[in-house]
Structure formats: C-alpha cells, structure tokens
Chain A
Amino acid sequence: MQVMTDLFARIFGDGLSPVGLLVAGGLTMALIMALVMASCAIVFTWAERKVAGFIQSRYGPMRVGRWHGVLQPVADMVKILGKEDIVPRDADKPLFLLAPFVIFIGSLMAWAAIPFAPGFIAADLDLGLFYIFAVSSAATIGILMAGWASNNKWSLYGAARGAAQAVSYEIPLALACIPVVMITGSLNMNDIVVAQQGGIWRWHFLHDPFLFVAFLLYFVASIAEVNRGPFDLPETESELVAGYHTEYTGMRFAFFFLAEYANLFLVSCVATAVFLGGWQPLFGPVFLPGLVFVIKAVLLVLLQMWLRWTLPRLRVDQLMHVCWKVMVPLALVCVLGAGIWMLATGQAG
C-alpha cells in the first residue's frame, strides 16, 4: 500500500489530496490482487493437469500452444466466455446470482492482508491474520447459498457437506496459528514475518516441536478448508456430479473455479507468511523478497496437488472423525505445549 501511495504521490505531485492518493493506491492494489487471482487460475489449472498427468503416467494437455499445451487455460477461458448463462427454472434466482460474488469477493478481500514483500501489502492491518480467517470463511456462506439456491439435490448435499467440513476444519486451522501469535505477540502479518528474520532456524515451524506439529495441522486443515482432494467431498465428481456448482454455467461457474485456485494459493501464502518465514530467504540477507515468497507458496501449492492426485478421497464420516477426534485435540495440545515450552525456555514469564 505504502509503495503504491508513494508511487502515485511521485507521479501526481501535489495534484492529489491524501484521500485521493489513498483511493488510487487502494484500487490499484485491488486490481493487482485480482490479477494475481486470475493468474493463479491460469497457471495452476495448467500446472494441475500437468502434475496429474505425470503422476498418472500420461502427458496432460499437449495441443494448445507450442510447448506442452501452455495455452490450454487461455482456450478454456475463451470457451467459458462463450458459454450461455443458464439459471434453472426452479432456482432461487437472487441467491443463485449472488453466490459466485460472495465466494469471489471473500477470496479477493483476504488477499488484502498478504505480505508479499516488505511494504508490499495492501492493508497492513493490526488484525491481519484474524482478518484473513474472518473474510475467507465467507466462502462457506457462498457455498451454502449456491447449493441451496440451485434447488438441486446434488448441490444441496454438496453444500451441506461443504459447510460442515469448512466450519469443522476452521477450528484446527485457527488453533494451529495461535502458538505463532503467542511467540510474536502480534496478529499483524508483517510483524509475524519480520519476527522470523535470520535464516531457516528462526522460521516458526522450526521454533519448537509443537510448532512443527501446528504447521502440519495447519497444512492439512487448509487443504480441507479449500475443499480439495483428499478432502474434496463437497464436489466429489463421482458421487455428487459437481457438488454445489452443478447448476452453474459459463462465467458464473468460472468464478467458483477462480476462487478455488485463488484460495489454494491464498492458504499457501498464509502458511508461508506464518510458518515458513514469508519473504525471508533460507539464509543470508533479504534479497528479491517477493520472488522468495512466491517460490515458497508455489512449492506448497505443488505439494497440495501431489497429495490430491495420490491420496484417495476420504469418506464423509472419516472426514469428521479426523477433524474432531484427531486434529482438534492435537491442536489444543499444541497451544498448551507451546505455552509450556515458552515458559520453560524462558521466552516468557
């Protein structure tokens, strides 16, 4: 944000008032983040098909574009643009039309608090981490709206599962981040990253054994939170057709898709910032911070794709079992253990 307002101040000099600067800077950052989301969808849909191809001993897309089907996402986009926008006759029309917006805007707003590099954060909120959790859970409302409004039994089941799953896994997700907040004493995303300065041994996931478990818990819960395999029960194509977005076509369907891939990258970005040192390199002084951050997050995304294409899908009772009987107790142990560790090693008290 500061980067943008400074830039506009330099371009316009005294021509813009502080309010004008703020609005111009904020809207520019919003545009950049929307483009980041769009490029997530473009890059990761291609990457996901290639990864799936390699894992299943085939090529994946090869035709569009000269090299390994790189232009496949562009072809998909053109095709989606040309698709008719169908609203089922029996659907609840206002809710049906609103749902993609809720999901998309919830995702976009969460991007406002991601610290890509020093100073390159749209909204440097004191409540950063808490804000991200709060805003990104709006997706649950969107899923429920889409499933209910479609008036389709598949969609309804998908939505009910999606909502139950998302709210369940939000608990270990939020609990896993609490030890980090205890260490840094701040919810500000910038502060959390700056606290991990000084090489890989200062990164939070290696702070103590409880933090390492908390990182694993966060990672698993985040996969469930974005409804991806092996936790993709809301959309299980083999039993629920396409889950909550069965009835959506064309551009509205594209919003669900966009938000899914953007959220995939978003949770990886949060994991990077909170546990993996953000823009801090493995060792040595900070260099190319934005690139370091993106590389770490993309590696996490690739890991999630690898998991999606190697692990079988969980059954719905196993899903709840894992969350409430394994992850929530483990997360509580992590919070208490991290506190005891800090008291015992003299980092607090």
Chain B
Amino acid sequence: MTQTPCLAAVATGLHADYTTVLLFLLFGIFFGNLALGIARLVRPRKPGGEKEVTYECGELPSGSSWVRFNIRFYLVALFFIVFDVEVIFLYPWAVVFRPLSEAAGSLVFVEMAMFLGILALGLAYVWIKGDLDWVKSLARRNGPEVGGE
C-alpha cells in the first residue's frame, strides 16, 4: 500500500460516499468537455456575419436585453427564501420525529405545529395583502371577491 494511512482512512471510512460525489463532479466536467471536444472535431466553424446577431424575430435587436426584472419574480424569490429555510428546519425534525416523540410524547409534534402555524399565518398575511396575486393593483381595484383569481 503506497498511500498514507490517513488518506486511506478518509477515503474508505466516513467520507467514502462524499468522495464519490466529488468524483461525480470531476467526471461531469470531463464528460462535458469530451462531448464538446468530439463535436469540435466534426462540426464546421465559420464565425462572423449575421448568424452572430442575437435572435429577435429576424430584425436587428433593439437595445440590450439586460434590463430590470419584473418585481413579481423578486417577490416570488422572497417567499421562496422564507419557505425554503422553513423546509430546512423541518427536515432534521422529521428525521428524529419518531424516536423523539417516543421519549417526549406529543410535545415534539405540538412544537413543530406551532412553528408551522406561525409560518402559515405569514402566508395568510401576504395572501390577504394581495402579494400572491399576479397583478396586485388589479386585485385591489376589483375588490376582494375577485382578488383571489
């Protein structure tokens, strides 16, 4: 055995599976480059001309497309962050749910129910405020009875 015992221990012990993940990453980079390399040998290469112009229905593009985003996508991203963090908290709880509630009873469940309840309250708040509607101002103008759709 030529490797140092330390490296061998790392590779075959606890981290063996995560080493595989790293190998997958490296192989992905290699495989992608291989496929592109093969294509490079086969394909024609005549750059220049109109084919390098950005496609915009066959017309010359009017201005850059690096413009500001629609605010709605931004709001969606905000909601997403809040709920994603919530999901991250839920996962460790779900793993220990059964053994822990055998030890501590239904308190384990009640605690998570309270946490989810607070979040559900937040969701209800943005719902009533109309932030979940695609066109918020339209929902307000049409009144609450049409606002949901």
Does B28 belong to the interface (CB within 8 Å)? Answer: yes
In the complex, per-residue mask of B65-90: 1 if CB is within 8 Å of any chain A CB, else 0: 11101101100110110011001001
Distance between Cα atoms of A122 and B90 in the complex (Å): 27
Does A282 belong to the interface (CB within 8 Å)? Answer: no
5 tightest A-B CB contacts, nearest first:
A317-B134, A30-B27, A26-B23, A105-B28, A251-B39
Does A209 belong to the interface (CB within 8 Å)? Answer: no
A83: chain B residues at CB < 8 Å are 43
- Cβ-defined partner of A104 (8 Å) among B32, B44, B127: B32
- Cβ-defined partner of A247 (8 Å) among B55, B84, B98, B112: B55
- Taking CB atoms and an 8 Å cut-off, the chain B residues in 94-113 that contact chain A are 94-99, 101-102, 105-106, 108-109, 112-113
Q: Is the CB of B38 within 8 A of A349?
A: no
Nearest-neighbor residue (CB-CB) of B51 within chain A: A86
- Taking CB atoms and an 8 Å cut-off, the chain A residues in 195-212 that contact chain B are none
Q: Is the CB of B45 within 8 A of A164?
A: no
Extra contacts besides A17-B1, A151-B64, A151-B66 (4): CB < 8 Å: A30-B24, A80-B39, A112-B21, A349-B106
Stretch at the interface among A68-76, A167-175, A290-298, A304-312: A167-175
Q: Is the CB of B132 within 8 A of A148?
A: no
Q: Is the CB of A34 within 8 A of B109?
A: no
B106: chain A residues at CB < 8 Å are 343, 349
Q: A84-B45, A151-B65, A247-B54 are in contact. Are A105 and B32 (CB under 8 A)?
A: yes
Does A269 belong to the interface (CB within 8 Å)? Answer: no
The smallest beta-carbon distance between A300 and chain B, in angstroms, is 23
A130: chain B residues at CB < 8 Å are 91
Does A194 belong to the interface (CB within 8 Å)? Answer: no
Distance between Cα atoms of A273 and B23 in the complex (Å): 24
A349: chain B residues at CB < 8 Å are 101-102, 105-106, 108-109
Q: Is the CB of A250 within 8 A of B43?
A: yes
B42: chain A residues at CB < 8 Å are 81-82
The smallest beta-carbon distance between B94 and chain A, in angstroms, is 4
Q: Is the CB of B8 within 8 A of A19?
A: yes
Q: Is the CB of A31 within 8 A of B120?
A: no
Does B137 belong to the interface (CB within 8 Å)? Answer: no
The smallest beta-carbon distance between A114 and chain B, in angstroms, is 12
- Cβ-defined partner of A109 (8 Å) among B21, B70, B80, B113: B21
Q: Is the CB of B83 within 8 A of A328?
A: yes
Q: Is the CB of A22 within 8 A of B109?
A: no
The smallest beta-carbon distance between B46 and chain A, in angstroms, is 7
Measured as residues with beta carbon below 8 angstroms from the partner, the interface class of chain B is 35 or more
Q: Is the CB of B28 within 8 A of A30?
A: yes
Q: Is the CB of B90 within 8 A of A175?
A: yes
Q: Is the CB of B18 within 8 A of A123?
A: yes
B108: chain A residues at CB < 8 Å are 349
Nearest-neighbor residue (CB-CB) of A80 within chain B: B39
Interface residues of A (CB under 8 A from B): 1, 17-20, 22-23, 25-27, 29-31, 33-34, 80-91, 100-101, 104-105, 108-109, 111-112, 122-125, 130-131, 148, 150-156, 160-161, 163-164, 167-168, 170-171, 174-175, 178-179, 181-183, 185-187, 241, 246-247, 250-252, 254-255, 316-317, 320-321, 324-325, 328-329, 332, 335-336, 339-340, 342-343, 347-349
Q: Is the CB of A104 within 8 A of B20?
A: no
Distance between Cα atoms of A82 and B41 in the complex (Å): 9
- Cβ-defined partner of A185 (8 Å) among B95, B112, B127: B95
Nearest-neighbor residue (CB-CB) of A18 within chain B: B12
B116: chain A residues at CB < 8 Å are 332, 335-336
Q: Is the CB of B123 within 8 A of A328?
A: yes
B113: chain A residues at CB < 8 Å are 336, 339
10 residue pairs A–B, Cβ–Cβ below 8 Å: A19-B12, A30-B24, A81-B43, A86-B47, A86-B51, A160-B73, A175-B90, A181-B91, A321-B134, A349-B105
Q: Is the CB of A164 within 8 A of B94?
A: no
Nearest-neighbor residue (CB-CB) of B103 within chain A: A349
B149: chain A residues at CB < 8 Å are 321
B17: chain A residues at CB < 8 Å are 1, 123-125
Distance between Cα atoms of A168 and B25 in the complex (Å): 26
Q: Is the CB of A246 within 8 A of B55?
A: yes
The smallest beta-carbon distance between A220 and chain B, in angstroms, is 17
In the complex, per-residue mask of B38-62: 1 if CB is within 8 Å of any chain A CB, else 0: 1110111111000111111000010
